[in-house]
Amino acid sequence: MQHRAMDPHSGEFAEHAVHEPAADIPGIVGMIRRQIPMAVLGGALAIIIALAFVLLVEPQYRATSSILLDPDRSKIVHDISGEERPTSIEEYVATQIAVLHSDIIARRVIHELGLQYDSEAERLRIPAAEERAAADRPPVPRITSEYLASRDIDKETIEAVQRSVTAYQVDKGLVVEIIARDPDPELAQQLANAYGAAYFADQLSARFEAVKTAGTWLEERISGLGEQALEASAAAEEFRARNDLATADGRLVSDRQLEQLVQQLIAADTPVALAAARVEVFEQAVNSGDLNDIMSFISRTAELPETAPINPLMADYIAAAARARAVTARWGEDSEQAKPIVEEANHLADLVRREAERLLQGYRGELRVAQAHRDSIQRAVDKAMERAQADNTTLVRFRSLEQKANSYSQIYQEYLARYQEAIQQETLSLPSGRVISTAIVPTLPVFPKWKLILALALVLGVSAGAAAGAIREARDKSFRTRKDVERLGVDFIGYLAAPAAEGRTEPKMKETAKTPTIAATPLEAARLFQPDPDIIRKTSIALDICSRGQGRSVGFASLEPSASRSALALAYAEQEAKRGRRVLLVDADASASILSRALAADCRLGLPPSDTCEVPKEKLVRLGSGVEFVPLCHERGPDHPPLVPGIAHLAAWRSHYDLLVVDLPVAEPVSEVRVLQPALDAVVCTLHWGETPREDLRVLLRADFGLRSKMCGAVLTDVPLTKLGLYDPEYRRHMSRATNPEDRSR
């Protein structure tokens, strides 16, 4: 057994030697196993409720039809009516779904099917053919929205239809699914199909009215625009004739002449620029006198013909210069052979320079001619610009009148084309979509879905049962396992099983002339039973350890009236008597007196009403095991309560017996236990399994009257061993080893 130090400040036992794990996995598993019946009960109750709901609720059937929206098919109608089309697919589909959920579509479906609302049954119904024929439904050529809005339809019927039908977009596309729900499968199918047909019929009706209205407006507008276009054209022609504005191809003649002169001026600028550049470059070459520059320029000039005089001169000079370089290289510049050749080359060079100067004069003459031609064109342009500026002042008003006339004419032509389209659209049935799937009569209800409901009820019921079990576990503050006892600093002795229900009879007593003796064994005593010998052995060991083998007075206490406490005290006394010790068993529980009622039938027994502490032998009960018993008498009446032994009695009896066993009353901070504990050497506390609150023992240990220092341990009594394994895994493993032959052999 584990002993723990007591904290002198708090009065509680320190638990330094106990190291609990962070998570008590076996405890959690045990809690789950303990609450499985509660979870099963919750699941069973939920299944029963779900079955009742499924059987009593009215089934709902669902029919589905699908329509495809095609906004491109209504493009012509939008153009004619001037309506703004949606900018995105999502906006368009959302708009059409809102139309499907509108009041006017519900009215059209009610009109087509002849629906009525049965307020008693709270559901829609389709009347018989005779009722529909008798109803006041005047024939109309076209069912328009205005006609449907003017009809007196019950509001409850409209709301019932809108509740029964739902439309939603499929996968962000142009497909809209229409779902109709109703207890009648045939009505659900008719509603789903009628809603798609009613939607397209309403579209055609609305477009017909829009096209008709647009055509009437266009006709009036075209008439006014035609007159305005004619008036504007006549005013423009009259202004042009009055101001003598000559035009060709819609343009003024002065403008055309100015344009042509500007083009000629641009063309004349190019030769002038080329001639000026040529004169400048050639003049630099001639002025430098370098024959190489002159000949290089002449060779690059494409305008100089091959028969020009300078070409043979340059050829002769090149040949003479080549001969002079050859002779000079061989004979020297001062030789007689070189001088005539050098002079000839120099003479040819002079001729080339003079011919180049003559060519330069020719190029200068060409430049002057080109400049004179450009200047003449420039003067003509200046005159044309003066004339054009004079005409522009008058032309501004003419252009304004002409533009106004063109605008009226263009608008007139556009409106005339729209009017022709509107006339064609009046007889064109072109809905912006089509039905892609029709509804069929459903065979299975969609509500209630009994499999889903039962599964959900089972889950919720089990969860509720588990939650209730968890709450019960959280609220359970009683003693269940040895850990509950050891957490309070009290040594745990063992579990005492609950007594069996059968085999209990009243004891038979025999009187003798001297000391009465009980003929029946304790197993036959009412409200008493024979505890497990192992518990009695552990109790004896705990008492010996606590009193160090010197204890002569032992008390058995409990926190509530307990027959198990009395049975344990009796069994312990009999065991010590069998060991050869003189044992006196004292019943000190005046409130219950379980031992006295079971072992002493004669009311004359008990303490005598005197001040002496001696008990006559004739007042004692000698049990068959050799234990002498001091009972209490409860038949004196309310004015004479039974006499309870005091400290003096216990102190006196200790000197005559080897062991004094006292069956104490209920232990409380203010009770007989507090009075009698100074006369006791050791105390064993019995705790009722699942009933004794842990707080009661904690309060008792905190009370400073010396009981905690004499408490040798605690026994959990009335334990249902079949349930104990769910709370104490160690006990379960111990029982498993005890029942397993292989474990016992080990």
pLDDT in tens, 564-622: 899 999 999 999 899 888 999 998 888 888 888 888 765 555 555 555 566 656 567 88
Residue 205 CA, distance from chain mean position? 44
Whether 17 shows a pLDDT value over 50: the answer reads no
**Range from 111-125, 225-239, 494-508 that averages highest in pLDDT:** 111-125
Considering the entire predicted model, what is its pTM?
0.50
Q: Peptide bond before 8: cis, by omega within 30 degrees of 0?
A: no
Q: What is the mean pLDDT of the chain?
A: 75
- Average pLDDT (273-278) is 78
Structural contact between residues 29 and 505, judged by C-beta atoms closer than 8 angstroms? no
DSSP secondary-structure letter at 57? S
pLDDT for 303: 65
Backbone angles phi, psi at 73, to 5 degrees: -70, -20
Indicate the burial class of 248 (C-beta count within 10 angstroms; 0-12, 13-18, 19 or more). Answer: exposed
SS3 label, residue 658: coil
Higher pLDDT residue, 583 or 302? 583
The DSSP symbol for 500 reads P
Tell me which long-range contacts 384-389 makes (C-beta under 8 A, separation of at least 24).
384/254, 384/257, 384/258, 384/261, 385/258, 387/254, 387/257, 387/258, 388/252, 388/254, 388/255, 388/258
Minimum mean pLDDT range among 60-74, 82-96, 362-376, 621-635? 82-96
From 3.40.50.300, 2.60.40.10, 3.40.50.720, 3.40.190.10, which CATH number describes the 482-745 domain? 3.40.50.300
pLDDT, residue 527, reads 43
Q: Is the confidence at residue 550, as pLDDT, over 70?
A: no
Report the percentage of the chain scoring pLDDT > 70.
73
Mean pLDDT value across residues 382-391: 71
pLDDT in tens, 422-466: 666 555 556 677 888 888 888 888 777 788 888 888 898 888 888
For residue 732, the model assigns a pLDDT of 64
Classify residue 73 by its DSSP letter: G
pLDDT at 740 over 60: no
Cβ 408 vs Cβ 232: under 8 Å: yes
Q: In what order do the strands lie in the sheet with 509-510?
A: 492-497, 711-719, 682-688, 553-558, 659-666, 583-587, 628-630, 621-622, 517-518, 509-510
Bigger pLDDT: 336 or 112?
112
Query: Quick check: 420 pLDDT over 50?
Result: yes
Burial class (CB in 10 A: 0-12, 13-18, 19+), 150: exposed
pLDDT confidence of residue 520: 37
Q: What are phi and psi of 571, to 5 degrees?
A: -65, -40
pLDDT of residue 2: 45
Q: Looking at residue 125, what is its pLDDT?
A: 79
Q: Are strands 61-69 and 175-182 parallel, antiparallel or unpaired?
A: antiparallel
The answer to whether the beta carbons of residues 685 and 668 sit under 8 Å apart is: no
Give the pair of three-digit tokens for residue 28.
């959690």
Q: What amino acid occupies position 281?
A: V
Identify the residue with better confidence: 402 or 521.
402
Looking up tokens 């091959």 gives 306
Is pLDDT larger for residue 145 or for residue 11?
Answer: 145
Q: Would you place residue 686 in the very low, low, confident or very high pLDDT band (cuts 50, 70, 90)?
A: very high
Least confident residue range of 79-83, 97-101, 515-519? 515-519
- The answer to whether 360 touches 283, Cβ cutoff 8 Å, is yes
Q: Give Cα 395 distance to the centre of its chain.
A: 73
How far is the C-alpha of 221 from the C-alpha of 712, rounded, in Å?
A: 115
Instruction: Give the residue ranges of DSSP H helices in 503-561.
Output: 533-547
Q: Classify 706 as helix, strand or coil.
A: coil
Please choose, from the candidates 684, 654, 653, the residue with its C-alpha nearest in 3D space to the C-alpha of residue 531.
684
Residue with the bigger pLDDT between 486 and 18: it is 486
Backbone angles phi, psi at 693, to 5 degrees: -70, 140
Reported confidence tier of residue 714, pLDDT bands at 50, 70, 90: very high
Hey, is 185 helix, strand or coil?
helix
* Average pLDDT estimate for 218-229: 72
DSSP assignment, residue 173?
A: S
Return contacts of 311-319, CB within 8 angstroms, 24+ apart.
313/348, 313/351, 313/352, 313/355, 314/352, 316/348, 317/291, 317/345, 317/348, 317/349, 317/351, 317/352
Tens-digit pLDDT profile for residues 175-205? 888 898 888 888 888 888 888 888 888 877 7
User: How much is the pLDDT for 688?
Assistant: 92
